[in-house]
Structure 1
Amino acid sequence: MLSAVNRLTDSDGFRRAVRSGRRSGCSTVVVHLWTDPDAAPGPVRVGFTVSKAVGNAATRNRVKRRLRHLTREHLPALEELPGRAVLVVRALPAAAQAPYAALGTDLARTLGRVSAT
């Protein structure tokens, strides 16, 4: 579970990250990262989007729990970004059948791409 300071709950944050942030994707997830280097440093806020195309409610919740746990492991690296950052992780339909290890590999690869640019 992510701590309360790391949860992205407002729609403006989601919209800003998806429309203005850097994006990287693979077969199971798409990651949007928006950074504001001029803002005071603060915790990275993370939000998740899992549409009905992924599966029924139980499947969507399982995918979201897996992604939340995997993302929590990458938070220390994201905290090193200058300023304030907002991360949105969007699950694609292939995430429902992907094994946990494959989801972790895809998430690490996409996070590496968006945080490097």
Structure 2
Amino acid sequence: MTPPPTEDAIRAADKSEGLAAVSSCPGYAILAKRADFLRAAQARRQGTGGFLLQARNRHDDTPAIRVGFTCSKKIGNAVARNRAKRRLREIVRAVLPGLAQPGWDYVLVGRPGATISRDFALLKDDLTNALRQVHAPRPQKPPSAD
């Protein structure tokens, strides 16, 4: 049987856990206003097997990364929609901190049948690929000969 930890050991563990929690914090805010969702819907889109990613550069010189989640009634009842949003939130927590760019809004839209049933590793790969596609440089269109 091991002896109980001393008060100094408890304080040291609390400090190290607090630092780890702060440094691993993803650093994104949740979108809540309808207008932000509508603006993101008009910007870049990237479809995947499990969801649709909408992304928008705000051009407002703030480094905040904002994320929104939405699932329509096509997904199913409230239980199914909440499960789909929980899965989307978890893949964002796992993938977004490494690939998101400051000053962007991202909205993940659940897909009927796919968001809930798709393998979790495939959902994470979907988000990784979608973020790379959204942030890839766009080719310039040649000027028209009109």
| TM value normalised by structure 1 | 0.83
Match of 1:103 in 2: 123
Instruction: Give % identity.
Output: 32
| SS of alignment partner, residue 31 of structure 1 | strand
Counterpart residue type for residue 85 of structure 1: W
Moved beyond 6 Å, runs of 4+: none
Q: Which runs of 5+ in 1 are unaligned?
A: none
Give the aligned partner of residue 12 of structure 2: none
1:77 shift after superposition: 2.5
Alignment counterpart, residue 9 of structure 1, candidates 32, 36, 42: 32
- Aligned equivalents of 1:3 and 1:99: distance in 2? 23
Residues matched between the structures, number: 111
Give the helix-richer structure, 1 or 2. Answer: 1
| 1:39-62, Cα deviation, whole Å (9 max, x unpaired) | 122211100111111122112111
Residue aligning to 2:68: 47
The CA RMSD over aligned residues, in Å, is: 2.0
**Is residue 84 of structure 2 the alignment partner of residue 59 of structure 1?**
no
Structure ID, larger Rg: 2
* 2:56 aligned with 1:34: yes
> What is the match of residue 18 of structure 1?
41
TM-score between both structures, scaled by the size of structure 2: 0.68
Structure with larger RCO (C-alpha < 8 A, sep 6+): 1
C-alpha distance in 2 between matches for 1:11 and 1:32 = 14
